């Protein structure tokens, strides 16, 4: 799959979250150039603070691969991960994280995992979706 195709899956997951009145964030785990898992935020639906898209996708990938060490996997996510997700990503040994949008207020330094900002993959469409979600909440 191309990076653009992977981010299309992420955005589709974000759309699902949006439709479920969740913060629209989507995540995909890639293993051996294939999607091993994809998910979106489920905090409201599951009544669980841990229901972040990244954590949901990592847990599903671990179940499918039957191991917690995902050092041969990459994570794609629509929004730069929060500090909680960064720690889970580091603990899972995710190799690389690719994201569409930065979180402007986020200042934590990352340790082991390499984070790379991706452009030209519908980031404006996703930015609009995220803005619409929060505009509807006000």
For residue 54, indicate whether it is catalytic.
Answer: yes
The answer to whether 96 touches 68, Cβ cutoff 8 Å, is no
The answer to whether 27 touches 75, Cβ cutoff 8 Å, is yes
Please state, in angstroms and as integers, the Cα–Cα distance from residue 78 to each residue in 2, 28, 71, 104, 108, following that order.
16, 9, 21, 14, 18
The answer to whether 80 touches 115, Cβ cutoff 8 Å, is yes
Q: Which of 12, 54, 87, 123 is catalytic?
A: 54
Tell me the two tokens of residue 2.
């191309």
Residues designated as active site: 54
């Amino acid at each position: 799959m191309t990076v653009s195709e992977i981010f299309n899956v992420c955005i589709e997951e974000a759309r699902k979250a949006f439709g479920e009145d969740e913060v629209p964030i989507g995540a995909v785990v890639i293993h051996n150039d294939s999607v091993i898992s994809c998910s979106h935020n489920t905090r409201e639906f599951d009544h669980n603070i841990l229901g972040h898209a990244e954590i949901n996708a990592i847990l599903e990938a671990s179940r499918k691969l039957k191991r917690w060490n995902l050092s041969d996997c990459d994570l794609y996510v629509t929004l730069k991960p929060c500090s909680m997700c960064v720690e889970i990503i580091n603990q899972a040994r995710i190799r690389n994280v690719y994201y569409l949008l930065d979180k402007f207020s986020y200042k934590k330094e990352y340790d082991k995992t390499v984070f790379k900002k991706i452009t030209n993959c519908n980031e404006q469409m996703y930015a609009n979706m995220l803005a619409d979600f929060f505009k509807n909440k006000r």
